[in-house]
Structure 1
Amino acid sequence: MTETMARPPLDKKVISRLTEIFGEDRVLTNNTDMITYSYDASFETQLNPRKPEVAVIALSTEEVSECVKLANEYKIPVYPRGAATGQTGGAVSTKGGIMMDLSKMNRILDIDHRNMQVMIEPGVIQNDLNEALKPYGLRFPPDPGSANMCTVGGMVSNNSSGLRAVKYGVTRHYVLGMEVVLPTGDVIVTGGAHSKALKSVSGYDLAHLMIGSEGTLGIVTRLRLKLLPLPVTRGIVLCSFKELEDAGAAVNAVFSSGLQPSAIEIMDFNCTKAVNMMKPELNLPIDNEAILVFEVDGAKEEVSSQVTRLKKVVEKYASYIKFSDEPEECEKLWQARKLVGAAVGLLKPGGFRVYGGEDICVPISRLPETLREIHNIADRYGIVCGIYGHVGDGNLHTGPVVNSNNEVEMENVQKMIDDIHDLAIKMEGTTTAEHGVGIVRAKYMDVEHGPAMDIMRAIKKTLDPNNILNPGKMALPN
């Protein structure tokens, strides 16, 4: 267990006051609980777990506010946490302190379907929200792969996106306002204290300052989100390509044709192999370097037309095409992409998939060379790796597979992860497009942002002079 606490232990008075705020049953101090809170889904915390000193389970804005006031008084770090599905160490302790568990603040407060918006608490699970919206014919469009587990508050913290970001954008495009507890414990509402408007240009855009700040500037306790109508139907075109370059050319041709797919996903040859191992009945075409899955949505007649047009555009580049606008067949074709994240672990007997270097984004024009270079890096270190992702906006997920009892592989995969992050910057891209910075990508922030990092640090210092909110993340002070 990595020792993270570089400060005196918590005063007994602090524990006593926390108990007054939350009650004895929601203040946790035993070692088993602290170990549980030492991890998120990242490879980093598997290698280096980080224990807080105490965890509190919040149920209201008032409790969050009182806790933060106490922490600010004693200069104790506070780490906001949702479902801990993050992959960057963003929701773990860096120096003891208080873990603020927000997962029980999970109420859908108001579905205002007439005004196309919803008010929720941050602990609502993304898929639970969309299930509640279905009877109204509405949806919250961002759809990360962890939608069955991740909280919307966590999505806002990291500005998450997903499969359909190419058409519908990312989380920030759907946040109309939020209630935030500041590092002083004061509570503000962004986007207008009583507004139900769908847009506003009044004042500084404080909501978008908070979005993607990973809990370093404030703790979100309520969210007002914009909704869209559910699409009537969807269509799928699955195609494979002999060369990576052909897949890249097909994507550019689709955009140039005036089509706007709701998703464009890529799987390389290793991912195809893994999916076929997990679910042979899908029978994905082999002996190709890449597969693309295009999705279009809209009215049924519109979808049929788009599927036909898509097929005509990509058939010039693809060696195999399968398409459908029938719901059951579309779901079957889409299964392959949904399975790939779990399936890549099958590429190496006894191996496990490492979540590291898994979230880079590069310009679309540089995707083919980036894909090939990632495989070159993997070969250089002797690591089996599958690559997949949201090719429509250049977002790639790499899936290295290693044996945990092989020390050489465990060392090499970390070198590989560093090289992938360096490659992203070299390709004029970014080290993260969905999952955030946290601890894992902090060392790249100055290279990516240059002098702009000084402004970010100045904002942090202004809002949080005692540096109590999620310290040590995003290359901000520890």
Structure 2
Amino acid sequence: MNETMAPPPLNENVLSRLRSIFGEDRLLTNSTDMMTYSYDASFETQLRPKNPQAAVIALSTEEVSECVKLANEFKIPVYPRGAATGQTGGAVPVKGGIMLDLSKMNRILEIDHRNMQAVIEPGVIQNDLNEALKPYGLRFPPDPGSANMCTVGGMVSNNSSGLRAVKYGVTRHYVLGMEVVLPTGDIIVTGGAKSKALKSVSGYDLAHLMIGSEGTLGIVTRLRLKLLPLPVTRGIVLCSFERLEEAGEAVNAVFSSGLQPSAIEIMDFNCTKAVNMMKPELSLPLNNEAILVFEVDGAREEVTSQVNRLKAVVEKFTNYIKFSDEPEECEKLWQARKLVGAAVGLLKPGGFRVYGGEDICVPISKLPETLREIHNIADRYGIICGIYGHVGDGNMHTGPVVNMNNQLEMENVQKMIDDIHELAIRMEGTTTAEHGVGIVRAKYMDVEHGAAMEVMRAIKKTLDPNNILNPGKMALPN
């Protein structure tokens, strides 16, 4: 299935100038290295990886700038890359060119705890940042499932979110400013060249133009991030529902009661089965269609009160409930949701969990209907599928499981993924709420955005007329 074709090597003049910027050790051209840069975590790139012509490992903004100037001069594509945990092919070099590895630009430059902000390089791992912030009683709230691996620069590129977005929002809510290398190689600072303010309405909001642009408009080399205090404690309510509709009604009832959980997660019956297979001691109830996990956070007295109020609201809809505000017990209850992403592969002996149709988002009111229709789609194609996600904001993950050696299943799962994306649009939702567009969702962009896509293309053409930054992505000019 590997359809990689080696692009022709870059000419010696270009290689010589790259060598002068990065040195011999940080310029990579051999075929093995190119293969390692040919894919990310997406199903698409497992099937159809794409090799760059060269890879360089940057250590400074100046190196990034010089590389981009060279690429722009010769009209060579440049693909910025972090940890390659993305699931849409967003950092894959579909047109050859230069892979610009930013993972070694991983310094935490400043923790300004008095002003509730930090300055970092893009290659900092999300969990590493939060570990460094703990002694100050602070945190960077976005928490994707890949937090142990993903870089903050990648999170900004895709405007990532995670389990607690329902209360704390997404990455863009925590970016105060950034240093960016433009497609010309010029360097700008957004959010105020010397600002340490926590907000500003001065000038165009260029930072938010860059956030979610997936490296197509500029390359982020430094970030100024807003921080929040760590919550004192958390509480968990885990409950099970005979029908998906009852789970949806419980979520609406919780919001209507005035409660604001920090997380509301759903797992369907296949996910429950998979988690029990992986960790039988959790003993999740198996005869229901859905499980919800609610989390609340804050001061201890507040959390105890919220847990009790949550229990009172949801017990009208559920036939099974467990709750606690004790940290160790909460961790046990939360464990089921944390395991599910890895566990769904157990649903089929020898199965491979496919990351596709992975992070659609629909209106909360249409969530039960959407969940049921995804199962109908899976049944139609004969694919086993677990569904879980962030029901509090309508964002869900589908986990189809296939046998990689079964050609019919491989064909059918790709049709299933197509149908799931189209379902999201039909339900007045979006094809991606967390992981970005890349190459996987590019074909849906015009349907989803209509005339706004032409504005996006015009912005791309204005900032990057030679189309060197991450070309072939997001249905922008190729």
Is the shorter-chain TM-score for this pair beyond 0.5, marking a shared fold? yes
Rounded Cα–Cα distance in structure 1 between residues aligned with 2:57 and 2:9: 20
User: Where do residues 256-275 of structure 1 align in structure 2 (5 Å cutoff)?
Assistant: 256-275=256-275
Amino acid in structure 2 at the alignment position of 1:355: Y
Gaps of 5+ in 1: none
**How far apart are residue 94 of structure 1 and its match?**
1.1
Contact 1:4 1:94 in 2 (8 A): no
* Matched residue, 1:104: 104
CA distance in 2: counterparts of 1:473 and 1:140, whole angstroms: 28
8 Å CA contact retained: 1:4, 1:95? no
Structure-2 residue corresponding to 1:136: 136
Q: What amino acid is aligned across from residue 14 of structure 1 in structure 2?
A: V
Aligned twin of 1:278? 278
SS in 1 for 2:333: helix
Is 2:368 the counterpart of 1:368? yes
Matched, 1:305 2:305: yes
Find the aligned partners of 1:105 and 1:111 in 2 and give their Cα distance.
Answer: 17
CA distance in 2, matches of 1:3, 1:312: 57
Offset at residue 167 of structure 1 (A): 0.1
Match of 2:441 in 1: 441
Query: Partner of 1:467 in structure 2?
Result: 467
Alpha-carbon spacing, 1:185–1:5, altered in 2? closer, same or farther (3 Å): farther
Does 2:358 align with 1:358? yes
Determine helix, strand or coil for the equivalent of 1:437.
coil
Deviation string 1:2-52 (CA, Å, 9 cap, x unpaired) is 35678x642110000000000000000000000000010000000000000
- Structure 2 Cα separation of the partners of residues 101 and 446 of structure 1: 30
Give the distance between the partners of 1:5 and 1:88, measured in 2 at CA. 21
Q: Name the counterpart of 2:288.
A: 288
Report how far residue 304 of structure 1 moved: 0.2
For residues 197-216 of structure 1, what are the structure 2 equivalents within 5 Å?
197-216=197-216
Q: Which amino acid aligns with 1:437?
A: V
The residue aligned with 1:382 is 382
Mapped to 1, the partners of 2:199 and 2:340 lie a distance apart of: 38
Q: Does 1:62 align with 2:34?
A: no
Over the residues paired in the alignment, what is the CA RMSD in angstroms? 0.8
CA distances 1:150-186 after superposition (whole Å, capped 9, x unpaired): 0000000000000000000000000000000000000
Separation (CA, whole Å) in 1 of partners of 2:202 and 2:3: 46
> Per-residue deviation at 1:307?
0.2
Cα distance in 1 for residues equivalent to 2:292 and 2:404: 32
Identity over the aligned pairs, expressed in percent? 89
Q: Work out whether residues 118 and 224 of structure 1, in 8 Å CA contact, stay in contact via their aligned partners in 2.
A: yes
Unaligned stretches of 5+ in structure 2?
none
Q: Partners in 1 of 2:25 and 2:428 — Cα distance? A: 50
User: Which position in structure 2 is the counterpart of 1:2?
Assistant: 3
SS in 1 for 2:65: helix
Distance in structure 2 (CA, Å) of the matches to 1:106 and 1:68:
20
Counterparts of residues 5-404 of structure 1 (less than 5 Å): 9-404=9-404
Once residues 429 and 22 of structure 1 are traced to their aligned partners in structure 2, the CA distance between those partners, rounded to angstroms, is 44
Write out the 4+ residue segments of structure 1 that deviate beyond 6 Å after TM superposition: none
One-letter code aligned to 2:3: T
Letter in 2 for 1:398: T
Letter in 2 for 1:258: G
Query: SS of the residue aligned with 2:341?
Result: helix
Deviation track 1:283-321 (CA, whole Å, cap 9, x = no partner) reads: 111100000000000000000000000000000001100
| 1:227 maps to amino acid | L
Structure 1: how far apart are the matches of 2:94 and 2:39?
Answer: 12
Matched residues in 1 for 2:321 and 2:5: separation? Answer: 53
Letter in 2 for 1:105: M
d(CA) in 2 for partners of 1:94 and 1:396?
28
Q: How far apart, in 2, do the equivalents of 1:4 and 1:421 lie?
A: 29
1:71-94 per-residue CA deviation (whole Å, 9 max, x = no partner) reads 000000000000000000001101
